[in-house]
Amino acid sequence: MAYGSTIKIPFGPQHPALKEPTNFLFEVDGEVVVDVKPRLGYNHRGVEKAFEYRTYVQNIYLAERICGICSDAHTTNYTQAIEELLDLDVPMRAKYIRVIIAELERIHSHALWVGMAAHEIGFDTLFMYIWRDRETVLDLFEMISGNRIHYAMNTIGGVRRDISEVMVTEIMKGLDFLEKRLEYYTEVVKTDKTISRRTSYIGVLKPEDAVDLCAVGPTLRASGIANDVRMDDPYAVYDEIPFTIVTHESCDVLGRVIVRCEEMLESGKIIRYALKNMPEGEIRVKAPTAVPQGEVVSRVEAPRGELIHYVKSNGTGKPHRYKVRSPTLANIPALCKMLLGGYVADIPIVLAGIDPCFSCMDRMVFVDVRTNEKKIWTMQQLRGKEIRN
Amino acid sequence: MKKENEIVESLKGFLKENLIKVTIQRERRIFAHIKSDALRDSISYLVRKLDVKHLSTITAIDLDGEIELIYHLTYKGSTTISIRITLSKKDLKASTITDLIPGAVLYEREVHDLFGIEFEGHPDLSRLMLPEEWPEDVYPMRKEYGIEQLREMVSKKQS
- In this predicted structure, the answer to whether residue A367 has a pLDDT above a threshold of 60 is no
Query: Residues of A with CB below 8 A from B59's CB?
Result: 310, 321, 323
Domain borders along chain A are: 47-331
Rounded to the nearest angstrom, the minimum Cα separation between B83 and chain A is: 12
Close Cβ partners of A301 (under 8 Å, ≥ 6 residues apart):
A73, A217, A228, A229, A230, A307
Say whether A321 and B62 touch across the interface (CB within 8 A): yes
Query: Residues of B with CB below 8 A from A232's CB?
Result: 76-78
**Mutual angle of helices A124-145 and A92-120, in 10-degree steps:** 160
Rounded to the nearest angstrom, the minimum Cα separation between A312 and chain B is: 9
Comparing C-alpha atoms, which of A384, A362, A344, A341 is closest to residue A31? A344
Distance (Å) of CA A311 to CA A68, A73, A326, B53, B139: 22, 16, 15, 23, 20
Say whether A310 and B62 touch across the interface (CB within 8 A): no
The answer for B 67-96 residues in CB contact with A (under 8 A) is 70, 72, 76-80, 82
Question: How much is the pLDDT for A389?
Answer: 43
A62 neighbors A51 (Cβ within 8 angstroms): yes
Give the length of chain B: 159
- In this predicted structure, the answer to whether residue A368 has a pLDDT above a threshold of 60 is no
Rounded to the nearest angstrom, the minimum Cα separation between A332 and chain B is: 8
Sign of CA dihedral A224, A229, A231, A233: positive
- In this predicted structure, the answer to whether residue A381 has a pLDDT above a threshold of 70 is no
To 5 degrees, how large is the angle CA A378–CA A36–CA A369?
A: 60
Query: Residues of B with CB below 8 A from A333's CB?
Result: 102-103, 105-106
Say whether A211 and B61 touch across the interface (CB within 8 A): no
Distance (Å) of CA A215 to CA A299, A332, B102: 15, 8, 11
A327 neighbors A217 (Cβ within 8 angstroms): yes
B123 vs A261: CA distance, rounded Å:
38
- For residue B53, the 8-state DSSP code is -
A98 vs A108: CA distance, rounded Å:
16
Question: How much is the pLDDT for A180?
Answer: 96
pTM of the model: 0.90
Three-state secondary structure readout of A225-283: CCCCHHHHCCCCCCCCCCCCCCCCCCCCHHHHHHHHHHHHHHHHHHHHHHHHHCCCCCC
> Could you tell me what percent of chain A has a pLDDT over 70?
89
Say whether B56 and A330 touch across the interface (CB within 8 A): yes
Query: Residues of B with CB below 8 A from A38's CB?
Result: 106
- Over the range A112-148, which residues count as b (16 or more CB within 10 Å of their CB) and which as e? bbbbbbbbbbebeebbebbbebbebbeebbeebbeee
Distance (Å) of CA B131 to CA A87, A184, B18, B138: 40, 46, 39, 12
Question: How much is the pLDDT for A384?
Answer: 64
Question: How much is the pLDDT for A1?
Answer: 43
Indicate the range of A26-40, A136-150, A315-329, B77-91 predicted with least confidence: A26-40
The 10s digit of each residue's pLDDT in A338-350 is 999 899 888 888 8
Q: What is the CA radius of gyration of chain B?
A: 17
To 5 degrees, how large is the angle CA A20–CA A23–CA A28?
A: 130
Question: How much is the pLDDT for A70?
Answer: 86
Question: How much is the pLDDT for A358?
Answer: 61
- In this predicted structure, the answer to whether residue B158 has a pLDDT above a threshold of 80 is no
Comparing C-alpha atoms, which of A136, A92, A96 is closest to residue A112? A136
Query: Residues of A with CB below 8 A from B110's CB?
Result: 329
The average pLDDT across B62-80 equals 93
- In this predicted structure, the answer to whether residue A28 has a pLDDT above a threshold of 50 is yes
3-state DSSP call for residue A158? Answer: strand
3-state DSSP call for residue A22? Answer: coil
Give A66-130 as a DSSP string.
S-SSSHHHHHHHHHHHHHHHHT----HHHHHHHHHHHHHHHHHHHHHHHHHHHHHTT-HHHHHHH
Mean pLDDT of chain A: 88
Query: Residues of B with CB below 8 A from A334's CB?
Result: 103
Band (A42; pLDDT cuts 50, 70, 90): confident
The 10s digit of each residue's pLDDT in B109-152 is 999 999 999 999 999 898 888 888 888 888 999 999 888 888 88
Q: Measure CA A115 to chain center.
A: 15
Three-state secondary structure readout of B80-144: EEEEEEEEECCCCEEECCCCCCHHHHHHHHHHHHHHCCEEECCCCCCCCCCCCCCCCCCCCCCCC
Say whether A379 and B158 touch across the interface (CB within 8 A): yes
Rounded to the nearest angstrom, the minimum Cα separation between B57 and chain A is: 7
Say whether A233 and B80 touch across the interface (CB within 8 A): yes
Question: How much is the pLDDT for A373?
Answer: 64
CATH fold of the domain at A47-331: Cytochrome-c3 Hydrogenase; chain B (1.10.645)
Within an 8 Å CB–CB cutoff, is residue B130 touching chain A?
yes
Within an 8 Å CB–CB cutoff, is residue B151 touching chain A?
no
What pairs with residue A39 in β-bridges? Answer: A23
Question: How much is the pLDDT for A376?
Answer: 61
The 10s digit of each residue's pLDDT in A272-311 is 999 999 999 999 999 998 899 999 999 999 999 999 999 9
Q: Please, is B45 exposed, middle or buried when counting C-beta atoms within 10 Å of its C-beta (0-12, 13-18, 19+)?
A: middle
Indicate the range of A12-16, A284-288, B93-97 predicted with least confidence: A12-16
The average pLDDT across A79-96 equals 95
The 10s digit of each residue's pLDDT in B32-44 is 999 999 999 999 9
Question: How much is the pLDDT for B2?
Answer: 87
Question: How much is the pLDDT for A362?
Answer: 34
A354 neighbors A348 (Cβ within 8 angstroms): no
